[in-house]
Amino acid sequence: MAQHGGRKSTKRKQIDEEEHPQDLPPNGALEMLTDEEDAGDASSDDGQVDAFPEIVAKSDSDNSEDGEEEDSDNVEEEDEEEESDDDAERDDSLHVFPQAKVVISDITKQLKTVYPEIEPDYDSDSSTEDPPNRVGNIPMHWYDDMPHVGYDMNGKQVLRPARGDELDKFLATVDDASAWTSAFDKNTQSDKPLTPEELDLIRRLYAGENPDATYDPYEPTVEWFTGEGKQEIMPLSGALQPKRRWIPSKWEKQKVMKIVRAIRHGRILPSKPKSTSKFEPYAIWSEPSSSHPPPLPAPKPRLPTNAESYNPPEEYLPTEEERKTWEEQDPEDRERDYLPQKFPSLRLVPAYDRFMKERFNRQLDLYLAPRVQRVKLNIDPNSLIPKLPSPNSLKPFPNYRSLQVHHSGNRVRCVSVSPDGAWVISGDETGVVSLWEINVGREVKRWKFEGKIGALGWCPRTDVNYFAVGIEDAISFIIPPNVDASVLSPTQSVLAPTTLPPPATTPSPVKWVTPPSSSWSLETPILTIQLPSTSGTTSNFSWHRRGDYFASVSSGGSVWIHQVTRRHSQAPFKKIKGAVQAVLFHPLKPHFFVATQQYVRIYNLSEQKLVKTLLPGIRWISSMDVHPSGDHLIVGGYDRKLCWFDLELSDKPYKVLRYHSRAIRSLQFHPTYPLFASSSDDGSIQVFHSRVYNDLMTDPLIVPLKILRGHYVTDGLGVLQVKWCSKHPWLVSSGADGSVAVWCS
């Protein structure tokens, strides 16, 4: 009770203060405290004051002075009266408390105020009501399963009030007008109407306003320190102001001055100097340049020629077809980038449409095209041709065809001239060998053999007179007709001696056959060498200069050296690398040349060893011949090359000539004149002058003298063999067209 009263009194006190701030009695008028009240006073220092408002009204401010003015009772009475007056006045406006009556006490006969009895259950305000449930502020769902909802003051269970079903609830809401402003109170488990304040609060929250009704967002500002007459004049502290407050800083000044000086001296630039796009030329070449050489200047474009004129001579104008070809060509292929045009006057000349493009191309050339420095030869091309002595000064050499002998259209593979130079034998592929005079071409004798004639060779001896004929795989020896008797008998004795030399100890596959002397005639050979049948046609003969030995090469590649006097044949090589094309005896030394397909090997026959291998670089050697001095060798090939070897020098050719348009078939040095000739499948014979010097320092002189034409090319074959006449500068050539020609000087 006391507590409740105290709360009320604070409220009242506040209201009093607001309404009558002036009416408040001075501090001294607060003596009316009962004894009990004093006690209570001490306990309720912090505002929980006594129930009686008049006592409590000034309790806050009185507390300190309580002890001093406790005993002044008189004053208390007066105060009481005053207070009651005040109360009466107040009651008009605020009927919070029941009206007090002033009556005359029965006992003291004095006036006393009688208050109506307070009924605790009825008259107390709601706040003083004890909440029946005393569980406090706990989650109420703890009691969800319980029949009670808490406990009251006395520890008795507060039973859950009966709640109607949903229909009742609905009916209640319909009946009760205030149902929508009430809320369910979990503590009491019942609906409680919301107070107007709460409703106002909800409305404010709902409207998004400040929930505090008393809050005024537009309060007028109260200026405390600004404005007229409100400035603070006096400093808060009495300390003296430091000097630095009004003197400029020395250090600052020094720092600033440092920057200023730097700016003045140009160490600091306020802003970068504006890069001026305006470019000012100056004398750039006045100071000496660096020592390194300038780059090569770019080549200048070609200067315009007459054809570029706006009014060129008429002959420069292109014809219709030239114009067409020019237009059809790619711009890169064109020789000129414009077509000559003619305008009658300058005013009619139009703009050149490719001007920009041409300038651009020039610039592309300048930076994209690789530049190459070329030495332009300003020489007469004819000066490149070597200066050689004129052929006229090198006469005699075969110059023209003096006569021709025909072999009825068969290929004349081989031809041979007698050592005295008066007779020629020629053999063709049908087996015909004919003997004729070189001077007039009269045929003296004709032999007919079975099989191809592959090679012919006249024995170089002058005391005897016979020749060898290679027919297929046999070699026959024939004595020409009309031989002088003084020559005939030695010849016969050489070829068919009465006493045969003893046969070799080792059996040879080569048979030497002589028919009986009774059957000797001009028609048949006096001696025949039968080579092994597998060797193939004899394709090449080479007589030793003495005339006793001769070597033969067969198309199968086998090489035999035959000795006539001993009637003996031997194979000098057990095995030869590559197919042998030609063999030769050295004219002076016991050397033997063997030409295989790509190499020429020189063997020493007496020592039986290889002396040298020559590398002509020809794909397929066709023929070779050695110079009568024995120091030089010429080799001809089917790949049109002719190689001249100086045997003293090197195994590589001294000179390689390629002048025939087809394969070289045959070569020969003249035995006495400084001449050699080569024949080719292009149907021509080339005659050279070849002077060889004895001193080792001078190179041999080779001068082309004459191209002899006269043979026809048949089946891709031209002149098959050339042979020199030993006493004259005459040449005998046999061709695939079946003719044999003699070329005289």
Partner 1 sequence: MGRLKVKGKAGAAKNYTTRSAAVKKLQCSLADFRRLCILKGIFPREPRNKKKANKGSSAPASFYYTKDIAYLAHEPILKKLREHKAFAKKISRALGRGEWDSAKSLEENKPHYRLDHIIKERYPTFIDAVRDIDDALCMVFLFSSLPSNSRLPPELVENCARLSKEWQLFVMHHRALRKVFLSIKGVYYQAEVMDQQVTWLVPYQFTQSVPSDVDIRVMLTFLELYQTLLSFVFFKLYSDAGLVYPPPLDAVKDEGGAGINAFNLQDSSRSAPTQQVKTVSIDGRQISVKDVKQTIKAISANSDADTADVEMPGTQEDQPEAEEEFMFHQSSTDTGSNASLPTLQALSALPQTLTTNLFAPYTFFLSRETSRSIFEFVIRSFGGRIGWPASSGAGSPFDESDPSITHVIIDRPVVKKEETPAQRELRLQRKFVQPQWVIDCINAGKVLIEERYLQGQTLPPHLSPFGEYEGAYNPVNTIEVKDTADMSEQATDSEEDDAMEANDDVADAVAIEDPAALRAAELAAEAAGVDYGTFEAKVKDATKRQGKRVSATEDDAEGDMNKMMMSNKQKKLYEKMKYSQRKKETERTTLEDRKKELLLSKPGQAPPMSAPPRLLHTHLRPLPQLVPSLVLPYAFLQII
Q: Identify residues 265-284 at the interface with partner 1 (CB under 8 A).
A: 272, 274-275, 277, 279, 281-284
In the numeric block, which tokens belong to residue 611?
A: 């002396």
Binding mask 342-371 for partner 1 (x = CB under 8 A): -xxxxx-xxxx--xxxxxx-xxx-xxxxxx
Regarding 617 and contact with partner 1 (CB under 8 A), the answer is no
Binding mask 565-594 for partner 1 (x = CB under 8 A): ------------------------------
* Shortest spacing between CB 603 and partner 1, in angstroms: 32
* Shortest spacing between CB 441 and partner 1, in angstroms: 22
Q: Which stretch binds partner 1 (CB under 8 A): 237-245, 381-389, 478-486, 595-603?
A: 381-389
Taking the CB of residue 639, how many other CB atoms lie within 10 A of it? 14
In the numeric block, which tokens belong to residue 27?
A: 């501090």
Residue 162 is given by DSSP the state P
* Shortest spacing between CB 213 and partner 1, in angstroms: 49
Regarding 199 and contact with partner 1 (CB under 8 A), the answer is no
Regarding 155 and contact with partner 1 (CB under 8 A), the answer is no
* Shortest spacing between CB 313 and partner 1, in angstroms: 4
| Interacting residue with partner 1 among 34, 61, 311, 329 (CB under 8 A) | 311
Regarding 336 and contact with partner 1 (CB under 8 A), the answer is no
Residue 544 is given by DSSP the state -
Q: Which stretch binds partner 1 (CB under 8 A): 36-44, 286-294, 512-520, 667-675?
A: 286-294
Pairing outcome for strands 467-471 and 474-478: antiparallel
Regarding 399 and contact with partner 1 (CB under 8 A), the answer is no
Nearer CB in complex with partner 1: 97/654: 654
Regarding 18 and contact with partner 1 (CB under 8 A), the answer is no
Q: Quick one: 153 exposed, middle or buried, by C-beta within 10 A (0-12, 13-18, 19+)?
A: exposed
Regarding 408 and contact with partner 1 (CB under 8 A), the answer is no
Pairing outcome for strands 511-513 and 642-646: unpaired
C-alpha span between 502 and 512 (Å, rounded): 12
> What's CA 48's distance to the chain center, in Å?
98
* Shortest spacing between CB 721 and partner 1, in angstroms: 22
Rg (CA), the chain: 76
Residue 150 is given by DSSP the state E
* Shortest spacing between CB 697 and partner 1, in angstroms: 20
* Shortest spacing between CB 660 and partner 1, in angstroms: 9
Restricted to residues 686-705, the positions that interact with partner 1 (CB under 8 A) are 702-705
* Shortest spacing between CB 246 and partner 1, in angstroms: 36
C-alpha span between 517 and 557 (Å, rounded): 34
Nearer CB in complex with partner 1: 233/283: 283
Regarding 375 and contact with partner 1 (CB under 8 A), the answer is no
Taking the CB of residue 173, how many other CB atoms lie within 10 A of it? 14
Nearer CB in complex with partner 1: 527/687: 687
First to last CA, the chain: 175
Regarding 381 and contact with partner 1 (CB under 8 A), the answer is yes
Ramachandran angles phi, psi of 467, nearest 5°: -140, 160
SS3 label, residue 17: helix
Q: Which stretch binds partner 1 (CB under 8 A): 134-142, 289-297, 464-472, 573-581?
A: 289-297
Nearer CB in complex with partner 1: 316/712: 316
* Shortest spacing between CB 645 and partner 1, in angstroms: 17
* Shortest spacing between CB 744 and partner 1, in angstroms: 18
* Shortest spacing between CB 495 and partner 1, in angstroms: 45
| Interacting residue with partner 1 among 14, 105, 178, 305 (CB under 8 A) | 305
In the numeric block, which tokens belong to residue 59?
A: 């309790």
Regarding 654 and contact with partner 1 (CB under 8 A), the answer is no
Element housing 494 (H / E): helix 485-495
Regarding 659 and contact with partner 1 (CB under 8 A), the answer is yes
Q: Which stretch binds partner 1 (CB under 8 A): 245-253, 309-317, 432-440, 727-735?
A: 309-317
Regarding 102 and contact with partner 1 (CB under 8 A), the answer is no
In the numeric block, which tokens belong to residue 532?
A: 């092994």
Binding mask 477-506 for partner 1 (x = CB under 8 A): ------------------------------
* Shortest spacing between CB 401 and partner 1, in angstroms: 17
C-alpha span between 501 and 515 (Å, rounded): 16
C-alpha span between 161 and 159 (Å, rounded): 6
Which residue is it, tokens 């040449």?
731
Sign of CA dihedral 530, 531, 534, 539: negative
Pairing outcome for strands 511-513 and 527-530: antiparallel
Regarding 315 and contact with partner 1 (CB under 8 A), the answer is yes
Nearer CB in complex with partner 1: 551/675: 675
Q: Which stretch binds partner 1 (CB under 8 A): 117-125, 229-237, 312-320, 554-562?
A: 312-320
Nearer CB in complex with partner 1: 142/310: 310
Restricted to residues 228-267, the positions that interact with partner 1 (CB under 8 A) are none
Regarding 516 and contact with partner 1 (CB under 8 A), the answer is no
C-alpha span between 675 and 688 (Å, rounded): 6
Nearer CB in complex with partner 1: 202/656: 656
* Shortest spacing between CB 302 and partner 1, in angstroms: 9
In the numeric block, which tokens belong to residue 501?
A: 């030399």
* Shortest spacing between CB 385 and partner 1, in angstroms: 5
Contact 625, 676 (CB under 8 A): yes
C-alpha span between 69 and 686 (Å, rounded): 170
| Interacting residue with partner 1 among 295, 502, 507, 516 (CB under 8 A) | 295
Task: Please spell the DSSP secondary structure of 405-456, one letter per residue.
Answer: EE-TT--EEEEEE-TTSSEEEEEETTSEEEEEETTT--EEEEEE-SS-EEEE
Q: Quick one: 525 exposed, middle or buried, by C-beta within 10 A (0-12, 13-18, 19+)?
A: buried
C-alpha span between 670 and 659 (Å, rounded): 20
Which residue is it, tokens 């060893």?
609
* Shortest spacing between CB 404 and partner 1, in angstroms: 22
Residue 535 is given by DSSP the state G
| Interacting residue with partner 1 among 235, 238, 248, 294 (CB under 8 A) | 294
Query: Amino acid identity of 310?
Result: Y
